[in-house]
Amino acid sequence: MQIHTLKDIDSVAKAVAEALILCVSNTLQQRDYFSIVLSGGSTPKKLYELLATEEYKNKIDWNKLYIFWGDERFVPFNNERNNAKMAFDTLLNHVPVNREQVYIMQTGNITPEDSTKEYNNLVNHYLENKGVFDFVLLGMGDDGHTLSLFPGNEETIFEEKNQCISLWLPAQNMHRITLTYPPVNNAREIVFMVTGDNKSKVLKQVLQGDYNPLKYPSQIIKPGNGELHWFIDEDAASLLK
Ligand code: 6PG
């Protein structure tokens, strides 16, 4: 595991953009496809906006990418809380992705159960034919959750039969769809982006406290053969030894 502490969120976004560009270009020298799992929430917005700028957008062969999401709030695509909408608004509408290779978690005219089944099949099909995910981008909540694996939710945190599950999140009065830990832990490169002093307490627990993924679900993320990188800013890192 490598921890990269940068000054602020802009520096974190720049560092992650460069790590992604390097990973994509190295991989596309060996084969003609690359898979990335995008995160939702607010932290990655700066990264997505940066990747869409003139300076960065031509550094990635977008039409070779297969794009997935780590989790989704079960709200319509045009709802501001929808993770896929955020990624399209900030990045995917501005770069030449192949829409046939962009797999959103469906949230319209479908039940959470059916959407989960569909996504499970999509992920299984990709992994069986193309192999593990190349790059998984994750965020972490100030309660230590990642993806939609929330503290105390034993069933979702330790699920390993399915690649994707749905859950009811009472605190937000909504369903969520989320990848489970296995397809993430099998990935080649896993990158957490965590910024802000509101994350400093939980980050200290996650990185330097006892292993307790039921309480701190981000701890369930441990790569098998791949690499795990934490890109954090000084505020989030302020309590680390
Ligand atoms: C989501 C995310 C979630 C996110 C964390 C951090 O749907 O909310 O996928 O896991 O990464 O909640 O969110 P922020 O980046 O907004 O702090």
Q: Does this model's pTM top 0.95?
A: yes
Atom 15 of ligand 1: nearest residue by CA position: 43
Phi, psi dihedrals of residue 2, rounded to the nearest 5°: -120, 135
The structure tokens listed for 44 are: 């990655």
pLDDT at 49: 98
Nearest-angstrom CA–CA distance, 70 and 28:
22
Residues lining ligand 1, judged by CB closer than 6 Å?
A: 39-43, 70-71, 73, 83, 139-141, 145-147
pLDDT at 74: 98
The residues with which 135 forms a beta bridge, in sequence order, are: 36, 189
Task: For residues 103 and 43, give the distance between their C-alpha atoms in angstroms, rounded to a whole number.
Answer: 21
231: part of which helix (H) or strand (E)? strand 227-233
**What integer pLDDT is reported at residue 126 of this predicted model?**
98
Atom of ligand 1 nearest to the CA of 146: 10
**Farthest-apart Cα atoms in the chain, separation:** 49
140 CA distance to ligand 1 middle (Å): 6
Q: What three-state secondary structure class fits 139? A: coil
Residue 30 CA, ligand 1 centroid: distance in Å: 32
Dist. CA 171 → ligand 1 center (Å): 14
Instruction: Output DSSP code: residue 102.
Output: B
Give the pLDDT of residue 25: 98
Instruction: Mark the ranges of the chain whose per-residue pLDDT is less than 70.
Output: none
- Mapped onto helix, strand or coil, the DSSP state of residue 239 is coil
Pairing of the two strands 135-138 and 34-38: parallel
Query: Among the residues of the chain, which ranges form H helices?
Result: 9-28, 45-51, 54-57, 83-87, 112-130, 154-157, 181-185, 200-208
What's the confidence (pLDDT) of residue 232?
A: 98
Distance CA 168, CA 188 (A): 30
Helices (H), 99-145: 112-130
Of ligand 1's listed atoms, the one at least distance from the Cα of 196 is 17
What is the 183 CA–ligand 1 centroid distance (Å)?
18
pLDDT given at position 17 = 98
Report the separation in Å between the CA atom of 135 and the middle of ligand 1, taken as the mean of its atom positions: 17
Beta-bridge mates of residue 3 = 230
For residues 84 and 105, is the Cβ–Cβ distance under 8 A?
yes
CA gyration radius for the chain? 17
Buried b (16+ CB within 10 A) or exposed e, 132-147: bbbbbbbbbbeebbbb
| Spatial separation of the C-alpha atoms in residues 64 and 98, rounded to whole Å | 8
pLDDT at res. 194: 98
